[in-house]
Structure 1
């Protein structure tokens, strides 16, 4: 055999280990950008975090709306790129494919969210809420509702599927250990948020909508951070 011949065999496949670092970096940076809303504890936004949507921080009429739209765009882009990279390089296993596809949807919908801001803040502006009920707000309100719903669907799909994958395929031990707790907390926070939205739209108050939704997005970011660490520590695929 010459020095240029490389032995091959059925156990040799494409080397996917070099994908771990960029995927981990993109996911980690995306998770950090996704928590930019915590700046509201340091700067005045004029919005009550207990009762307002997180997306209202990025509304077109808010003083820091441009900042929060930019961070949403950055978060979505980073997560979309990281999830796409992982989806292309991951082994063809059902739970892995479903999970990374869910995160692709999540990242893409978050990008769309940032480009389709609300024109005003309905939870604090009665006139805005009345216009929204009467259908007199820009079409971006409806489009934003759809993109936000797709983002939640993508995030939940990714969180559940990749946590199951970590356990079933015996990989990513940090995610396998901590993921299930985060999954159940995320499902509880999502239920709280959906119930609060329904109550607000029915004119029954906000039911601390802001707390529920902020907890929801914080748990997503925490889960993404655990995933990023797991991928960096134990590679993208076993």
Structure 2
């Protein structure tokens, strides 16, 4: 690999691509015995402190966050973007990566959607600080991802760059927003004692689309010079 290649878009694309793949590690639940129902439970419950595979999923979240953060910082330092939507987008990616890494260090202590006693302790405020903080860190990570997806998709279309993202980004973002609304509504229903409304399904679609979008962005920047 030449020095010029290292200075180009390949490192940014590689970091984002590996980050996207690692961010889908929760899909291992299809082959691992977790005891959690994917249609009803939070993705983050896989990484809860009392879960047998929790350490694995916390580690993959940490790695994914650091890879995505590194990709965004490399883009900022090397290419110094100045246009509004591009700056906002890369900042959103960096924020998403940093908070995802931090989120992995603030695991749930138990699985509230699968364990009524856990849900009762959570409602009574009898859970560790890390458990209580997890909902905030997860919300912030989701916000960063959505901001990045909207901003860089707009940048791709408005500035005539990153053809794959310009073509497919609007569809991915639209479905992501719908999945986010579904997830938020399901969380509200669960907290009100009205069931889970397939919370797990909605959230898994949500996080999967973040990974798909990151992969499309990685492909886009790998194919052309990373413009402002």
TM score, norm. by length of structure 1:
0.92
Which residue of 54, 60, 76 maps to 2:65? 76
**Which 5+ residue runs of structure 2 have no aligned equivalent?**
none
Task: Tell me how far apart the structure 1 counterparts of residues 38 and 133 of structure 2 sit (CA, whole Å).
Answer: 23
Q: Which structure features the higher share of helix residues?
A: 2
- Give the alignment of 1:1-238 within 5 angstroms: 18-88=7-77, 89-237=79-227
Task: Tell me how far apart the structure 1 counterparts of residues 70 and 199 of structure 2 sit (CA, whole Å).
Answer: 31
TM score, norm. by length of structure 2:
0.96
| Number of aligned positions between the proteins | 224
Task: Tell me how far apart the structure 1 counterparts of residues 97 and 81 of structure 2 sit (CA, whole Å).
Answer: 21
Asked whether the 8 Å contact 1:90–1:236 carries over to 2, the reply is no
Taking structure 1 as reference, are residues 233 and 96 closer, same or farther at Cα in structure 2, changes over 3 Å only?
Answer: same
Give SS of 2:8's match: helix
Task: Tell me how far apart the structure 2 counterparts of residues 117 and 17 of structure 1 sit (CA, whole Å).
Answer: 36
Taking structure 1 as reference, are residues 44 and 16 closer, same or farther at Cα in structure 2, changes over 3 Å only?
Answer: closer
**Which 5+ residue runs of structure 1 have no aligned equivalent?**
1-14
Q: What is the aligned-residue RMSD (CA, Å)?
A: 1.4
Greater Rg, structure 1 or structure 2? 1
